Amino acid sequence: MAPDEDIRWLDDEERAAWLNIVRIVVKLPTVLDAQLGRDAGVSYFEYMVLAMLSERRSRTLRASDLARVVNSSATRLSNVVRRLEQRGLLARLPDPDDGRGTLVRLTDAGLDLTISAAPLHVQTVRAAVFDPLEPGDVQALHASLGRILARIDPDSATEPLPIEVEPTHERAQPTA
């Protein structure tokens, strides 16, 4: 038997769906980066770092937990944290519970930026992702993406994120 006889090739519908996923994975970050760069002076990744910290009552996370939450390598996160710290948006602090660890804290300026960026960012997310959907599509999309995520990142389904549900502010809901 030839090696590729065991391969389950994608049928036409699967191939079309796969190519749409690839296009979205490539294009959506570009759309979000452009909007956030124009309106808030940060990249999408930088915004996610700020937004994840804004959802903590303490506005603080261990750097290793923050890296996991934003799906980043320690090196990439360290570089971004350094840049955001230089802009006064974050502060790095020694972890009192672990002398080897570092805490990352969202400053008041970082919270203000996150809150002010949230409305236009959510508007962009809604326009790009949710407005094109029909009623009922969001539930199906959420379920389908959840199953895919559980397959490619099993820890995401079993390991709770170190995020508190209630943000410390009431002016906006920054995560999107």
Distance CA 176, CA 67 (A): 17
CATH number at residue 109: 1.10.10.10
Distance CA 75, CA 67 (A): 9
**pLDDT at residue 157 in the model:** 56
Per residue in 153-174, pLDDT (tens digit) is: 887 755 555 545 444 444 445 5
Domain limits for position 141: 24-158
Average pLDDT, integer, range 18-28: 97
Q: Is residue 80 part of a domain?
A: yes
**pLDDT at residue 154 in the model:** 83
Distance CA 18, CA 20 (A): 5
Structure tokens at 54: 């804004």
Q: Is residue 173 part of a domain?
A: no
The pTM for the full model equals: 0.83
Per residue in 77-102, pLDDT (tens digit) is: 999 999 999 999 999 999 998 888 89
Distance CA 22, CA 167 (A): 33
Q: Is residue 146 part of a domain?
A: yes
**pLDDT at residue 117 in the model:** 97
Structure tokens at 173: 């809901």
Q: Is residue 98 part of a domain?
A: yes
Please choose, from the candidates 79, 74, 49, the residue with its C-alpha nearest in 3D space to the C-alpha of residue 64: 74
Asked if pLDDT for residue 116 goes beyond 60, the answer is yes
Residues in the chain, how many?
A: 176
Count of domains observed in the chain: 1
